[in-house]
Chains A and B, each alone.
Chain A
Amino acid sequence: MSGVRAWAAGRPAAARLGLALIALLCLYAFVGPHLSPHSPTDIDYTALSAGPGARHWFGTNRIGQDVFAQTARGLQKSLLISVSVSAATTALAALVGTCAGYFGGWTDHALTFLVDLLLVVPGFLVLVVVASRLRNAGWPAYAAAIAALGWMVTARAVRAMARSLRERPYVRAARHMGVRPLRIVRGHLLPHLAPFLITHATIAAAAAVVAEAGLSFVGFGVQPPDVSLGTLMADSAEVALTYPWMFFFPTGMLLCFVLAVNLVGEALRTRLDPVAAWAAVRR
């Protein structure tokens, strides 16, 4: 108990707020559906476009579906996509970045070329084109597509760090001892990159939610009957002013999540920033 308190005390208020928000949103997304008597696909013909009230907490949409349940389902999907995308981009960036930076030479040339090539591709347009082919593959395919186009900048940063770590005396010592390269990458490079990668992962999570929502909003993302925050927003965007609850709740959730993740990410960055961490270590 005291450990938890000490942990929380060490964090600025903004980060604590962010963590609390994320916890609440997760609670809502995964426990919320069980609290509500309605399922997201049930249609309540007695309450079309009903405002928030005792029966439908967040109101209903134009065909009588419960907004609370729908938002929970959409948020669930968005969170799943964001977590998997952030994990995938971080892993890919770490792998490509460390390999390019540590091995140098042809490995570096080839990987850097690939990264540069992907960087000049207009990501959103490619997603739009690819998305139409992925219509039947379900959300993991979208997650993969988003991840495939979002790892390059991080990989370049990781490569630069790996290059400088490569010349650290302890890494040189390990090479001279005959430690195998992949073991050096795992044992010496990755632990030092971890703070940067963790920070990147949180920020990538926020970016992924926005990307997914944007894609779904323009109709290329998650396909009905599945819902995500993006599709919910798209469906209710025209009536946002007449039936604000239909638009307000999914949009609010999206905003809250992005804000919370950014707050936590910023706090992590100042705390774990590799430069700061290295300076402390070097001393």
Chain B
Amino acid sequence: MGGGTEVSDGTDQAPALDIRGLRVVVGAGRAEGEEAEAVRGVDLTLRRGEVLGLVGESGAGKTLTALAALGLTPPGARLRGSVRLLGTELVGLPARELARLRGDRIAMVFQDPSAAFTPVHRIGDQIGEALRVHERPRPSRRAARARAITLLSDTGVPEPERVALSFPHQLSGGLRRRAMIAMAVANRPDVIVADEPTSSLDVTVQARVLAALGDARETTGAALLLVSHDLGVVAQTADRVAVMYAGRIVETAPARELFARPRMPYTAGLLSAAPRVDAAHALSRVPGTQPAPGKAGTGCAFAPRCPVSRPECRVTDPALAAVTQPERGPGRPAARAAERARAAAGASAEHLAACLYPGAGEGAGGGGLFPVGPPPAARPRATAGAAPALRVTGLAATHRTRRGGRLRAVRHVDLTVAAGETVALVGESGAGKSTTLDRIIALTAPEAGRIEVLGRDTAKLTRAEAHRLRGRVQIVLQDPATTLDPRMKIGAILAEPLQAQRVPRAEIAARTPELLAEVELGGEAADRYPHEFSGGQQQRIALARALAVRPELLLLDEPVSALDVSVQAGVLDLLRRLTSAPDGPACLVVSHDLTVVRQIADRVVVMHGGRTVESGPTDTLLTRPRHPYTRTLLWSVPRPDPGARRPLAAPLAPLSGCDTTTGCGFRAQCGAYRELPSEQKRLCEHEAPGPNGPTGASCHFPYPDDATPPPGRPAWRGRPGAH
């Protein structure tokens, strides 16, 4: 399948999807002030057979645009403008006609597949129904069911027969998404709209879903509108990319061009703010926040955050115009006019940007446009012989399930955090990361194993000692929006841990502005409530609260997972600064995101299925992983660079009939195990590998120290045509 280059005959054929001047007003019919235009004039063309990535941060209007492509609006929203599907106008089309097109010519993969399937019908029947509704002559129920199984197996679903007979709640998130994709392609549509098809999935599952999407596209030849906030996903899959900001398309270009030479400052900022997995690097930040729907004033919506904005940017709202070559120096009106003329003449209108001075900060490259945080500093190494801040050995933990059973969430965890060191605990959901953190902060005796916090065995702590220890260990929980009491002022929130340790009032009053300054917030923040702050600021406040007592050990649970890319960079910088300070706390960071881990951690501990499988210094571990699981994990992260596109590793389907109670727990999914000769296999089957082998990997046959890609099915086949 060719992609963008192949399909250039858009002149005689109507494009697959043509959106012109799309406006969506939300909150229509409500009180005067609550009505807001969330999509403010979107022009978007999806050519036949191409993959168009629509990126932007939360609140940019991506989902509304995707829904509008199907002629759908959320309740209370109004649609204006034009949406043409293969030349047919969808806006204003009677509901009957729309229903005939949906699922047939255009199909949607919804963001939340648990809500998109009916819970009371089997998956196979639901996919079959999509066929029976549209196909004439109508296939029989049995035939439809059989076709559903084929569709499921085409999207790479293991055991399609079983999945077809399952109810939606019996499937995992990744499987549901793939079933959703199977349903979307059931009638070989011309357009597939996928709204965040991989959000909240683990990277390895994401790789599988992307593969399914790629396969589906390949078999049907459909055009794909892929909505995502994840630059890596878009870079990995899209032929062309459109960037949305505050309800507008601000830049659109072929993927490689956009990632290599962004012309709109926002795009440049977005790209340079994204952390990379291959190196720790200075992160640039985009100050400010995106205006809320209806709050964008006159002029360019990005102007208030733009480092190169000029007075006229705040007055004139730029339209999308072609930017063919880098403009030298500040854009003079004459040059701009010439450019407009070129665009109007239809000269290579591939790269469009909505900017009065596209590429104004080009000289220094995209990254030079925005304030760049300090490069990762050399960290104080842990002094040998000093007591570690945290030592966990052989930790096991179970959860009580609703039916009275016990779920072994953590089986065997070993980890050590030296004083002043930052250690990241990575793994996928269900690996037991959060449970581990939970058991550490509980400061009580674990079910099995031993936890030493700041040199104290938690099993031997009295109540008073535990309380005193809480003044030296702090935790920052996952979602900053919910960890701050919405009814408390920031001042009171920051005072809470200090009060708990009976710090005198005068001292608390003096500490508050100090803390706010430390996390780069103004002193006036103390008198405001949490909802008045953006997500990034809330996370800073949560950090400030944890730092209030000057802890010696800081536990962070997914510190930036709830934040947008442009905001995330600032928080990562802050974390880096706080943890590399000479008297900074030792840190244990739990994260699923390897790019984030790369930026802030000194050492990485990898967890899988409740066990720590590998640990080592960040640089070594993330460039030359030894354990098969770490390899899969690392190689399934898509890079935000379409030039370096390569197959993503998708994990193997677990071997059936593999008893993991003995031997290596990862065996069933291990690619290396399958290739071993049978006498070596026996070792894996009968003997659990030591917790930390000589290489730091808990594996009998760790990979040699080089960078060969892991075995496994290439997930998104490299598409040479697009390169």
Contact = CB atoms under 8 A, between A and B. Distances in A.
22 contacts: A168-B482, A169-B477, A169-B483, A170-B482, A170-B483, A173-B477, A174-B500, A176-B474, A177-B474, A177-B496, A177-B500, A178-B470, A178-B497, A179-B496, A179-B500, A183-B500, A187-B485, A187-B496, A191-B485, A281-B486, A281-B531, A283-B531
Contacts of A179: 496-497, 499-500
A178 B478 contact: no
A177 B485 contact: no
A5 interface: no
A282 B467 CA distance: 30
Contacts of A133: none
A283 B33 CA distance: 18
Nearest to B471: A178
Contacts of B483: 169-170, 172-173
B475 A173 contact: yes
B467 A178 contact: yes
B540 to A, nearest CB: 15
A21 B478 CA distance: 49
A63 B656 CA distance: 96
Contacts of A183: 499-500
Nearest to B477: A169
A187 B474 contact: no
A242 B474 CA distance: 77
Interface in B471-512: 471, 474-475, 477-479, 482-488, 496-497, 499-501
Interface of A: 168-174, 176-180, 183, 187-188, 191-192, 281-283
A173 B545 CA distance: 10
A283 B477 CA distance: 18
B445 interface: no
B392 interface: no
Contacts of B652: none
B441 interface: yes
A169 B497 CA distance: 15
A173 B542 CA distance: 10
Nearest to B492: A187
Given A173-B483, A281-B531, A187 B488 contact: yes
A178 B479 CA distance: 20
A164 to B, nearest CB: 13
A161 to B, nearest CB: 14
B478 A169 contact: yes
Nearest to B469: A178
Nearest to B497: A177
A169 B479 contact: yes
A172 B474 contact: no
B496 A174 contact: yes
Interface string B537-575: 000001001000000000000000000000000000000
Contacts of A170: 482-485
A190 B477 CA distance: 22
Given A281-B486, A281-B531, A180 B500 contact: yes
Given A170-B483, A177-B545, 7 more contacts: A169-B483, A170-B482, A170-B485, A171-B485, A173-B477, A174-B496, A177-B470
Nearest to A171: B485
B470 A176 contact: yes
Contacts of A176: 441, 470, 474-475
Nearest to A178: B470
Contacts of A171: 485
Contact of B482 (A169, A174, A177, A191): A169
Nearest to B485: A170
A189 to B, nearest CB: 10
B372 to A, nearest CB: 32
B308 to A, nearest CB: 34
Contacts of A283: 531
Nearest to A174: B496
A183 to B, nearest CB: 8
A172 B477 CA distance: 9
Contact of A178 (B484, B487, B501, B531): B501
Nearest to A188: B485
Contacts of B467: 178
A18 to B, nearest CB: 24
Nearest to A168: B482
A172 to B, nearest CB: 7
Contacts of B486: 281
A127 to B, nearest CB: 38
A283 B484 CA distance: 13
Nearest to B476: A173
B454 to A, nearest CB: 14
Interface in B431-487: 441, 467, 470-471, 474-475, 477-479, 482-487
B561 to A, nearest CB: 14
A110 B176 CA distance: 44
Given A173-B475, A173-B477, A178 B482 contact: no
B487 to A, nearest CB: 5
Contacts of A281: 486, 531
Among the interface residues A170, A171, A191, which one has the most CB atoms of the partner chain B within 10 A? A170
B487 A191 contact: yes
A142 B477 CA distance: 50
Contacts of A192: 487
A176 B501 CA distance: 12
Contacts of B499: 179, 183
Among the interface residues A178, A191, A282, which one has the most CB atoms of the partner chain B within 10 A? A178
Nearest to A170: B485
Contacts of B487: 191-192
Contacts of B484: 170
A169 B441 CA distance: 14
A171 B477 CA distance: 11
Contacts of A282: 482
A178 to B, nearest CB: 3
A177 B555 CA distance: 12
Contacts of B470: 176-178
Q: Closest 4 CB pairs between A and B?
A: A178-B470, A177-B497, A169-B483, A169-B482
A158 B532 CA distance: 28
Contacts of B500: 174, 177-180, 183
A5 B484 CA distance: 33
A279 to B, nearest CB: 12
A90 B471 CA distance: 35
A179 B531 CA distance: 23
B530 to A, nearest CB: 9
Contacts of B501: 178
B542 to A, nearest CB: 8
A227 B561 CA distance: 66
B269 to A, nearest CB: 27
A172 B467 CA distance: 15
Nearest to B467: A178
A105 to B, nearest CB: 14
B711 to A, nearest CB: 41
Contacts of B488: 187-188, 191
A281 B467 CA distance: 31
A192 B474 CA distance: 25
A283 B482 CA distance: 10
